[in-house]
Amino acid sequence: MERITKWDLGSFRTYYSVEPSEKFHEHEYLDGSLVPRLETELWKAQSRIKELETEKFGSTENIRSFIRDQRIIREENTDPLVDYLKKKFVSNFEPVQLGSNSSDTLKKKMWDMESSVSRLRRERDTLEKVCEELVTRIDDLNAETRRKWDETEEEMQMLQMAELWREESVRVKLMDSKLSWKSMKR
């Protein structure tokens, strides 16, 4: 910034504000001295471009440092009204922050509950399959038990019939023996 105010032939403002001391005459440069002069001008232009770029970078750094300094000055020279407003803003902001924290907590709890629900559904499905298998097994066992019961009942009836036949046979033999004894006695 300081270089612009001084008289500097390399500076952007002085370069265009000063009239060129030499006018271009074609007949003077026919001998080949035009190329070196153009190269010199090109070199000057490139150096000026670099200079402007460094000034631009320096000015952005200066602006940043100025803003930083102003912020520090503002923080040092605080007004009671500003302090009151800051406290009010922070106190109003805290419930929102707590709300967002509780919202995050609720989201986490909801996610946990959803995972628990899906886990419980899987467990319920597994238990339902196990129960269905147990029901079919119990039905099979009931059918087998009924069959065995029927077989046992048939065997009991057969045994009862055999017992009755034996008793009948014993009675018949007893009657035969009585009759034969009576016939012998006579």
Q: Measured between alpha carbons, how far is 139 from 147 in angstroms, rounded to an integer?
A: 12
Q: Measured between alpha carbons, how far is 140 from 126 in angstroms, rounded to an integer?
A: 21
What confidence score (pLDDT) does residue 167 get? Answer: 92
SS3 state at 121: helix
What confidence score (pLDDT) does residue 86 get? Answer: 73
Q: Give the global pTM.
A: 0.33
Q: Of 61, 64, 55, which is closest to residue 2 (Cα–Cα)?
A: 55
Q: 55 and 11 in contact (C-beta within 8 Å)? A: no
Please list the pLDDT of the chain residue by residue as tens digits (186 residues).
Answer: 445 444 455 555 545 544 444 555 555 555 566 778 888 888 888 888 887 777 776 677 777 777 777 777 666 666 677 677 777 777 776 665 555 667 788 888 888 888 988 999 999 999 999 999 999 999 999 999 999 999 999 999 999 999 999 999 999 999 988 888 888 877
**Could you state, in order of their start, the residue ranges of all structural domains in the chain?**
2-22+36-77
What confidence score (pLDDT) does residue 105 get? Answer: 83
Q: 156 and 164 in contact (C-beta within 8 Å)? A: no
Contacts (Cβ under 8 Å, ≥6 apart) of 48: 10, 12, 15
